[in-house]
Structure 1
Amino acid sequence: MKRYLRKIFKAGICWSSMLFLVVTCEAQISSADSTSLIIDSKILGEKSKVFIELPKDYYLTSEKYPIVYVLDGAYNFKFSSEAVKLLYQNERIPPCIVIGITSTNRERDFTPAGDSNWQPPREMQAAGGAEKFLKYLEEELIPAIDKKYRTQPFRTIIGHSLGGLLAMYAFSTKPYLFQAHISLEGSLWWNDGGVGKSVINYLDTHPAYKGKLFIGRIKIPREAWFPINATLIDYLEKKRPAGMEYTYMEISEETHSTMVFPGTYFGLRDVFKDYFFELNEQADEKSIMAYYSSLSAKYGFTVIIPQQIYNFLWDIAMHEKKYDDAIHYGEMRIKYYPNSYRAYMDLGSTYIQTDNKEKAITCLTRASTLNPADESVKQMLNGLLKQ
């Protein structure tokens, strides 16, 4: 019975992979916020299209950003970009550059070569090019992105189905390439579980590993799992390195194909779960700055403090009439969030309290330009201009 369930499940995945390929080839990306470039790959021997979504304030600052690489980019790029936007706008993750990676043949590019005594499904005979595809990512695509854009040395890869298999293959063979791996419904049955076994072997021999791994699956009876899934999950739960961050999530009421949408959101939120600082009565500048300093050391890049935190510190300073501090926090807020009309409005109100009419007018004028519909800004500005 177990073997029958696995056979049916594998057939479903293979069929979903072929259907997904058709949908991917037909998908169109159109967004004023997105751009694309063509990589003329010597390694793949073909041209590859890449989609790029930059943070809203990218051209207004000199900041560098972590990167999210999305496999099956022609299909998954747009909703992945929206997930990043939503999470960032609600200050659950830092601003990120999103890269959508396309492939002309995902069955070839996302699957490692099998052992000599293992045969891939009949409909997947072109498989086995994952090593070359990872070489393309490492030696051509990632250097091109790092050269063209301001990037931080923190990369996340997201893959679904065969893409999830490739994400895990990257984990076990090039663990330095990505600092976080999100594998959604990864096809670990491939090559009798060879990739899953390699992940276990790598972690067994590298107890100091400190990366992040999120595994998402649909909710199905454990007896229908392929053996490698149970073996890997049990290992990660009980024996993973102490410094490794790992989350396993079962997503209910979704299919193999539809879970990629919520799985991407949950995976991204989990990778940056410690980005969100829980404000409370004990929070002060010292504890907040110490927290984000330690977080920057952990991530390996300077973490931009969320706007809500600067607003919190500004509120405290204003309440205590520490106007120099309030101006400092207001200026920092504008530096990192130059499109925030509230940041300019709040700093303008601080300058009003310090009788700096000229700077108050400058800030409120900018706030009104960013949000012409806010009548309170207009009233404050008109009151100053009439003085």
Structure 2
Amino acid sequence: MKKLILFICFCSLYLPLQGQDKNQIVIGSIESIQSKILNEQRDLWIHLPINYSPEKKYPVVYLLDANSQFYSVVGLINHLSYSNGNTVCPEMIVVGIPNTNRTRDLTPYKPDPIDPFIPPQMVEESGGGENFIAFIEKELIPYIESTYSTAPYRMLIGHSFGGLTVLNTLLHHTEMFNSYIAVDPTSNWAAGRLLREFQEALASEKSFENIDLYLGIANLEMEEDINEYLTDSTFITEGVRSIFEIDAYLKSQAPQKINYASKFYKNEIHPTVPLITEYDAFRFIFDFYTMKLSPRDWEDAEVDMAQKMETHYNRVSAKFGFEVKPDESLVNGLAYEFLGMNQMKKAGDLFHLNIRLYPESGNAYDSLGDFFAANKEKEKAIESYKKALSLSFQDYTKAKLDALEKEKD
């Protein structure tokens, strides 16, 4: 049985699973690259899906503020893509980017006019965001895509200053990512500039087609009436008012010009809002991904389940812009469910679908052999088990083959 890999190992670089201490649970590795653009070495926190295989291609999440966001986002994606059989979203590689100089990297420009409440050192350090995005585009993404098995789908997630970076990247480097999650962004940086830039971009011929944006908005104080803040004019409410202004404008433009959704979290404040925002964002962005089964699909033996699955994943592939196949274990598990329900046509069609999708899989042929054995087709079962053994020798397959051949004798 394949082992789950769940915890981050800070003290050493990643080792292959079979070489790890059995007392450790690992969710990622720490790597580093030398950036010529930023003139510094940058650490990367890399999470690979539990069943990562170079034979499969994975979408990539680029995560800002990895120091505080990595653990929860990795756990969320594993839960939605794998745990308990969930298929809310695809399995994804997560590339966490820890901070070196957060203010420098996550502010796209200096505040103008300069707000007297912003410390002078912060003003001095700010405005390096374009260099940081250049680092991601020209150094980080090429490194990840040459090192790992990646699909042509990227997501950017950021909170606070990171959310500001997310929105600025969407505006000025739109095609870098397919989807964007901005968590309670510092949208009042530079006195309304972000709203003006959205208005200019969406009024122009600039295209946001096939781009998804989700915006999470926190309360200033838990359970407080937001209307009091929106009618206020003091500095303390400027941030939340600016986010609501952007939100109202984007809602007025969606879905014609941008695929956009947002939510105000009345019971969350700035530090607590990321996880619930990211959960809701994944449900919004990947609302097309799960294959939904009705009671009839389970009960009616005449439903063509294999065709239903192929049609669904053709739609998913069209949405992503690249081929997406159902996971072998998903097809197999469903086939065994119908085998157990004695719905033999459904089961057989799904086992054969797995052979078409994964012709080099010994496990797929082993499972097909189980189907033929259950259906009293011994010759076909023997043929399938032999094929499985030729692809991947397993003791349990050999035992089943030997038992059938002994019956023949």
In structure 1, the partner of 2:180 is 181
SS where residue 152 of structure 1 aligns? strand
Question: Does the C-alpha gap of structure 1 residues 39 and 168 become closer, same or farther in structure 2, counting only changes over 3 Å?
Answer: same
**1:213: how far off?**
0.5
- What amino acid does structure 2 have at the position aligned with 1:273? D
1:153-172 alignment, distance < 5 Å: 153-172=152-171
Asked if 1:100 corresponds to 2:96, the answer is yes
Q: Is the 8 A contact 1:36 1:52 kept in 2?
A: yes
Aligned with residue 51 of structure 1, among 45, 54, 67: 45
Superposition deviation, residue 311 in structure 1? 4.2
Q: CA RMSD in A?
A: 3.5
Q: Distance in 1 between matches of 2:155 and 2:274?
A: 16
Equivalent of residue 313 in structure 2, options 279, 288, 292: 292
Higher mean Cα deviation, 353-362 or 33-42? 353-362
Residue 114 of structure 2 aligns to which amino acid in structure 1? W
Selected match of 1:124 from 112, 117, 122: 122
Shift of residue 243, structure 1, vs aligned partner: 5.8
Q: 1:71 is matched with which residue: 64, 74, 83?
A: 64
| 2-structure distance, mates of 1:255, 1:332 | 50
Equivalent residue, structure 1, for 2:286:
272
Q: 1:301 maps to which residue?
A: 322
Please give the secondary structure, in 1, of the residue aligned with 2:113.
Answer: coil
Asked whether 1:197 is paired with 2:196, we answer yes
For the Cα contact (< 8 Å) 1:314–1:330, is it kept in 2?
no
CA 1:251 to 1:148, structure 2 compared with 1: closer, same or farther past 3 Å? Answer: same
Q: How many aligned residue pairs are there?
A: 351
Aligned to 1:234: 248
Between the aligned residues of both structures, percent identity stands at 28
* Corresponding residue of 2:145: 146
**1:55-113 deviation line (CA, Å, top 9, x unaligned):** 22223x51111101111112211221111111111111111111001220111110121
Q: Compute the displacement of 1:315 (Å).
A: 5.4
Q: Is the 8 A contact 2:331 2:350 kept in 1?
A: no
The Cα shift of 1:233 comes to 1.1
Q: Runs of at least 4 residues of structure 1 off by over 6 A?
A: 333-336, 361-364, 377-383
Larger radius of gyration: 2
Deviation at 1:359, TM superposition (A): 4.0
C-alpha displacement at 1:362, in angstroms?
8.5
Secondary structure in 1 matching 2:176 = coil
Q: How far is 1:258 from its partner?
A: 1.8
Q: Does 1:259 align with 2:296?
A: no
TM-score (normalizing by structure 2): 0.74
Instruction: Name the SS for the 2:198 alignment partner.
Output: helix
**Distance in 2 between residues matched to 1:218 and 1:29, nearest whole Å:** 35
Q: CA separation in 1, counterparts of 2:178 and 2:11?
A: 27
1:224 aligns with 2:224: no
**CA deviation map 1:318-337 (0-9, x unaligned):** 7244776343134367679x
Name the SS of the counterpart of 1:159 in structure 2.
strand
Partner amino acid, structure 2, of 1:58: Y
Give the SS at the match of 2:288.
helix
Separation in 2, partners of 1:262, 1:70 = 16
What is the alpha-carbon distance in structure 1 between the residues aligned to residue 80 and residue 193 of structure 2?
34
Q: Is the 8 A contact 1:93 1:275 kept in 2?
A: yes
Mark the runs of 5 or more structure 2 residues left unpaired by the alignment.
1-8, 13-24, 231-237, 298-302
> Residue 18 of structure 1 aligns with which residue?
none
Paired residues for 1:20-39 under 5 Å: 32-39=26-33
- Highest relative contact order (Cα 8 Å, sep 6+), 1 or 2? 1
Which piece of structure 1 moves more, 289-298 or 168-177? 289-298
d(CA) in 2 for partners of 1:44, 1:177: 19
Shift of 1:244: 2.9
Deviation at 1:29, TM superposition (A): 7.9
Q: Give 5+ residue unaligned stretches, structure 1.
A: 1-26
